[in-house]
Structures are given as structure tokens and as C-alpha cells.
Amino acid sequence: MKNRLCLSILFSVIARAPEPTVYADPKPQRYHLTARASELDSRAREHPEIDFVFKDKAGKPQDVENAVVDTRVAPRGRLVIWLMNYNAPLFERLGDYGLHAIQVSYANKWFGLIPTKARDDGTSLGKLRLEATTGEDFSPLCVIPKPDGMRERAFQFVKHLAKTHPQGKWEQFIAPDGAGLDWAKVIISGSSHGATSAARFAVHQRVDRVVMFCGPRDQLESWQGFRSATPANRFFGFSHVLDTGWTGDHYCRSWQMLGLHALGPITDVDANAAPFGNSRRLITKFDVKGDAKRAHSSVQPGNAAAKNAKGEFLHEAVWKYLFTHPADHVGAATPLDPECGEKLPKP
């Protein structure tokens, strides 16, 4: 009995997550930090074949990366990597939640430049996304070396922040061997194209959490059903019902293939309060005047988001839920939706 008790205590200590690093900032505040990817890594290269360059024709930098941390807030010990353009209202909230956050510039502009016939054959999109995010050779349709992939760009940016901004304690996100990021502490997130690439990367590489705004899509692909390195309970999605990705059943198809139907029903956040039945599949039906384009961008903080008469965002509780809800709190399993199921690839 004594030996069992000792073993139980030992296993609980081993399994316990390390405490987040505590700040020692003499002037606590929210920090917004920037750097250019081309200046952080001499190996970084432009890829004009996919319109990925360091400066546009007017000379404006195109490789600026952004970071936010608020040292007034108790840290959660998690780093959000955002795979789209910098979104200031979102990053402000991430800082409010006690999260570190970065937006990286990586070679991701292949999406509209590679011919549809070549990239929509059932496997090409997933391979392209993996090459862009990992910098490894997954696709014959592009050549994105390691220094220009998301994974290495994020690592180089965090190394820079650890060196130049000690107040933020960025070093906690570097792996013990110093060779890359500690992905167990990373939340990968994006919207639309970024949400899809975030999900594809998380199927390949285990991360702490995935937050998907208006996505993932890739409706002709099968990668959503692959055995995932990141458990299903760590995927969180949010969509508007007038988004064409939703009306076309693309998002719900991906959510089901990722196994999210086993973790709670599709939940209307405007009719249900947090924690939304602990579901991973959240939707909104707020009035966008029939505008599908607005619906597509309305689920993240910004001009298109739902607001009340005072101009206050209506989905504050949703955004906090997506990024901070305990992953082990899950909803009840639900049957597959036949409308989405018809779009699942056949074995």
C-alpha cells in the first residue's frame, strides 16, 4: 500500500504541468513588439513565384512580425501563434487572458496562385499547408525551405524576443534542448486559410490547442480524418451560419472528420451562455444583413463582429472560451450530421 501511494504521488508530480513563469517587470504594461523576419534570420529568402516578398513595389515592408504580452496579467504559460495578418483587437484580448501571442510572416501566399486543377486533387492542399507551416518537403507544387516556414519563423521570432524583451519571459516557450519551440505550450490559431493551416499543422504536430475561426475548409481533402497528433478535445471552432464555408457544409464536414462531434453538439452562442455545453463546435446567427463576406470575418474581433447599441462586442465570452476553456471539459457526444456525412470521403 505504501509503495502504491508513493508511486501515485510520483506520477501525479510528473504529470502536473509546470507553473507558468512569473514576471518581474518593474513597469508592468501591455507590450506590442515588432520585428522583420528578414532581419532576424539571414537564411530567410523571398519567394516571388508565390508573391512572397520582403517589400512591396512601393518599398513597404511585407515581413513585419508582431508580438503582444501584458505583464500586468498573471501568465498562463501559453504562446498563441496567429497564422493570418495581425489583428490588434484580438491580440489585445489575448494579452488580457494572460497569453503571449505572436503573428509570423511565412511563405503562405501559394493559395491563390497555384492552379486550381493542380491543387484540388484530394491531397495537394494538405501537402502545401504542411510545407508552408513546417518548411519540410511535402509538396511538389512549391519549394519552401525550413527558414521560410512558419515553424522556424516562429522559433526565430521567439528567440529574438527572449533576448531583447526579458520583461516578457519569452524564453519559457523554447524547448529545453534549444532547438525549437516547446510545442506543448503553443496554441495555434487563424481564420479562414489560417484556420485550415493551423488545423493541418496540429494534425501533424501535437500542440496545446487549436483555435479555428471560420474554418477549416479544404473540402476535397482527406487529411482532416488522419490520425491526429493533437487530440480532438484540443480543437475549437467558431463560424457564422451565413459564411459560405458553413452553408456549403465545409466547416461542419471538417469538424466531424476531426472528431469534434464526439465532444458536444453544434452550439449557438447567441442562445447559450458560456461554457456553451463544453462544445468544440460553436456558431453564431447574428444579423449580418445577408452579407456572406461580413459573416466570414465576423467571428473574430474587428469591424465585422457583432456589437450592441453601445458598440460593445457581443462575443467576448466566446473568444475567451476558445482560448482558455479547460481542454478536459468536454460536451456530450452527438451523432454524425448526415448532411455533412455525405461529404465525408469514402474509405
**CA–CA–CA angle 279, 285, 290 (5° rounding):** 150
Domains, the chain: 20-341 (3.40.50.1820)
**CA–CA–CA angle 93, 326, 275 (5° rounding):** 75
What is the per-residue pLDDT for 339?
73
Q: What's at 21, amino acid-wise?
A: T
Give residues with Cβ within 8 angstroms of 59, minimum separation 6.
none
What is the per-residue pLDDT for 212?
98
What phi, psi does 228 have (nearest 5°)? -95, 135
Encode the chain in three state secondary structure: CHHHHHHHHHHHHHHCCCCCCCCCCCCCCEEEEEEEHHHHCCCCCCEHHHCECCECCCCCECCEEEEEEECCCCCCCCEEEECCCCCHHHHHHHHHCCCEEEECCCCCCCCCCCCHHHHCCCCHHHHHHHHHHHCCCCCCCCCCCHHHCHHHHHHHHHHHHHHHCHHHCHHHHECCCCCCECHHHEEEEEECHHHHHHHHHHHHCCCCEEEEECCCCCCCCCHHHCCCCCCHHHEEEEEECCCHHHHCCHHHHHHHHCCHHHHCCCEECCCCCCCHHHCCEEEECCCCCCCHHHHHHCCCCCCCCCECCCCCECCHHHHHHHHHCCCCCCCCCCCCCHHHHCCCCCC
d(CA 225, CA 347): 10
Q: For every one of its 347 residues, what pLDDT tens digit does the chain have, with 9 covering 90 and above?
A: 444 434 443 434 434 455 667 899 999 999 999 999 999 999 999 888 888 889 988 989 999 999 999 999 999 999 999 999 999 999 999 999 999 999 999 988 877 677 666 667 788 899 999 999 999 999 988 899 999 999 999 999 999 999 999 999 999 999 999 999 999 999 999 999 999 999 999 999 999 999 999 999 998 899 999 999 999 999 999 999 999 999 999 999 999 999 999 999 999 999 999 999 999 999 999 999 999 999 999 999 999 999 999 999 999 999 999 999 999 999 999 998 877 754 444 43
Distances (CA, A) of 159 to 30, 98, 294: 20, 20, 37
Are the C-beta atoms of 328 and 255 separated by less than 8 Å?
A: no
Give residues with Cβ within 8 angstroms of 56, minimum separation 6.
62
User: How distant is the alpha carbon of residue 307 from its chain centre?
Assistant: 24
